[in-house]
Amino acid sequence: MAVVALAAALVALGAWVVYDNVTAGDSATADATALIDDFSAAAMANDGAKAMTMLTPDAVVWSNGDVMTGATAVGDAISTTPTLTMERVAPVTVEGDYAMTFVNYGVPGAGYEPTTSVFVYQLRDGKIARSWSFVTGVTEPFDNLAR
């Protein structure tokens, strides 16, 4: 039964990814998707300076229990994390000033293998003002999914 459920989930995710690649959705969704993808690309390239241009000066990022405050601090962290991976695996959904997606996120060089995480972004003036990442099955409130 678990295999059937997993197979169904994979088929649904595959359909979702195909749909995401075929249609950009409304303008707010297309803009948020482009911003999130560009930010992830800069982060994986360890280009903290470029990533900073996509953040508000007072941006706050919550990740793996750490809190980084300010675009400069986030950019510095990105520049010094050479094995960072952030691959979006689901469409971006937007509600008001918030965007959400699923990302395979990890830092293999630091012992954190990529795992599917929920990323929530608060957007302001076309930039990321706040970002929260939650590892499904590990980070509260998603730590009890398997119970």
pLDDT of residue 65: 77
pLDDT digits (tens, 9 = 90+) for 26-42: 799 999 999 999 999 99
Q: What is 110-144 written as a DSSP string?
A: GTEEEEEEEEEEEEETTEEEEEEEEETTTSTTGGG
**Residue 46 bridge partners (DSSP):** none
Cβ-Cβ contacts under 8 Å for 115 (sequence gap 6 or more):
104, 105, 106, 135, 136, 138
Q: What is 36-57 written as a DSSP string?
A: HHHHHHHHHTT-HHHHHTTEEE
**Stretch 22-28: mean pLDDT, rounded?**
66
Cβ-Cβ contacts under 8 Å for 122 (sequence gap 6 or more):
97, 98, 128, 129, 130, 131
Q: What is the CA radius of gyration of the chain?
A: 15
pLDDT of residue 147: 45
pLDDT band at residue 145 using 50, 70 and 90 as cut-offs: low
pLDDT digits (tens, 9 = 90+) for 91-141: 999 999 999 999 999 999 888 889 999 999 999 999 999 999 988 777 666
Q: By C-alpha distance, which of 75, 88, 77, 86 is closest to 108?
A: 86
pLDDT digits (tens, 9 = 90+) for 35-75: 999 999 999 999 999 999 999 999 999 987 789 999 999 99
